Structure 1
């Protein structure tokens, strides 16, 4: 069964039989530029996916020619003439909703895949980095795009970027506003795989279906361990690994995986 939540600026679709949900940014005429309404809808959809036990994998993508071209600069420009309090309230809410969404992506114990086409810039970079796997079109481009606007990065980019590419390269991308092609992003480790633009949607869904057919609880715990490793020392990480492994041994997933190995067949996890 397919269920859909529709906003003017965002679509949320859950394919029940597959266990895959999709968040699609839906402002194609504006290259999916992020405004307050989209940020609020994004936070709602990400939280919904995180809390839905039927969702085993989440895909984040965009309609039109871009994933997300950045913030809605025209909306920001209109706010320049607004009272300072009103302007501050708008941006506080914009960032709070955006940060709620990327926190949900990072913390949900299920894989999140970004399907990137066209431009990923500004908050689009932070959102991309908050996902666990990234499939990019060969036409995709990546750019921080904050410095020329006289502002600083958000959506968690300054946390994720140095950890992925190192401090020097993160400084180059942020301070010099270097624009990356899909191939350059792949070489730096920002992207997992590249495919021809017409194949992006199917390639992304293929990865999602593969993950959804796997051991969902184990994937979620593995994701949590990987991110905990950024905060833990070695002994703390060993303790976390011990805890999660022991949590798995009484699960239906563990029983199916071990039995399938012994019986020399592929495991079927279904909704275990």
Structure 2
């Protein structure tokens, strides 16, 4: 079987690639767990000085897999737990993390991309909190990561109206750090990766710790609030309708129940 993520040590760089291109790298619980384990291990490895996240094919990630993943089961609290573990690992690891967004970053895929320290997107990419379209709320820390970057009003637009944010607008808002023409994307990702990997490792680690303390001090509390809310929403008729309409490729008809 093709592994769902690829983990490669490339000199001082740990490269993690989400590797389900046929499903636009939609996350399963197993994928998120493997990615979290890789980032956690990197945090204990002095030979790793930068971490890069990317998606194979034409997407960063389409979010949680609503088609059933490896087991045929829908996302549940185990999926949220695995996603939260990855988000915390990305923020806690002392190395700088770069997300190379070469296509859509949707749902919890958006959350993962925004949890990186440096988020580089090609011009054709976009960011989308599509949770409400299937009767859910944002998770993966998005209810803190997004407003911390762009403010409450824009976060509401993304979360309640599920507005797609093109990469150029995301950079203008301050949601991401870089937007790059598609044909220059790979070169710019490598340039920034080399700069991070050969920079002052200890200074980067202490800077990241301080930025976490000042801008994301309630991340763990936020993840817990999202988990409780999402666990309740998984039991609703609206979520069932959202999944059915997604699979049938039609607009959902929500009842509010």
TM bucket (normalised to shorter chain) is 0.7 to 0.9
From 93, 97, 106, the counterpart of 1:108: 93
2:172 equivalent to 1:187: yes
Q: Paired residues, what number? A: 216
Q: Structure 1 segments of 4 or more deviating over 3 A? A: 76-79
The secondary structure found in structure 1 opposite 2:127 is: strand
Distance 1:105 1:120 in 2: 16
Give yes or no for the alignment of 1:206 onto 2:191: yes
Which of the numbers 91, 107, 112 marks the counterpart of 1:127? 112
Shift of 1:231: 6.3
1:67 and 1:118 in contact (8 A); partners too: yes
Tell which deviates more after alignment, 222-231 or 106-115: 222-231
Runs of 5+ unmatched residues, structure 1: 1-5, 80-86, 233-272
- Greater C-alpha Rg: 1
Tell me by how many angstroms 1:178 deviates. 0.7
Which residue of 23, 28, 33 maps to 1:40? 33
* TM-score normalised by structure 2 residue count: 0.80
Quote how far apart the aligned CAs of 1:117 are: 1.3
| Equivalent in the alignment of 2:10 | 15
Residue 66 (structure 1) aligned with residue 66 (structure 2) = no
Q: What secondary structure is seen at the aligned counterpart in 1 of 2:76?
A: helix
After TM superposition, give the deviation of residue 198 of structure 1 in Å: 3.2
Q: Is the 8 A contact 1:50 1:105 kept in 2?
A: no
Mapped contact 1:42–1:98 kept (Cα < 8 A): no
Unmatched tracts of structure 2, length 5 or more: 218-257
Map of 2:148 onto structure 1: 163
Cα distance in 1, alignment partners of residues 32 and 150 from structure 2: 27
CA distance 1:42–1:7, change in 2 (3 Å)? farther
Alpha-carbon shift at residue 7 of structure 1 (Å): 6.8
Work out the CA distance in 2 between the residues paired with 1:7 and 1:174: 34
Paired residue secondary structure (2:111): helix
Would you say the 8 A contact 1:12–1:24 is kept in 2?
yes
Deviations 1:38-72 (A, max 9, x none): 11211111112222111111111110000001111
Q: Which has the higher contact order (CA 8 A, sep 6+)?
A: 2
1:175 and 2:160 equivalent?
A: yes
Distance 2:111 2:59 in 1: 15
Q: CA deviation at 1:202?
A: 2.5
Q: Note the aligned Cα RMSD (angstroms).
A: 1.9
Q: Distance in 2 between matches of 1:9 and 1:155?
A: 20
- What secondary structure does 1:74 align onto? coil
TM-score (norm 1): 0.75
Match for residue 137 of structure 2? 152
Report the equivalent of 1:236. Answer: none
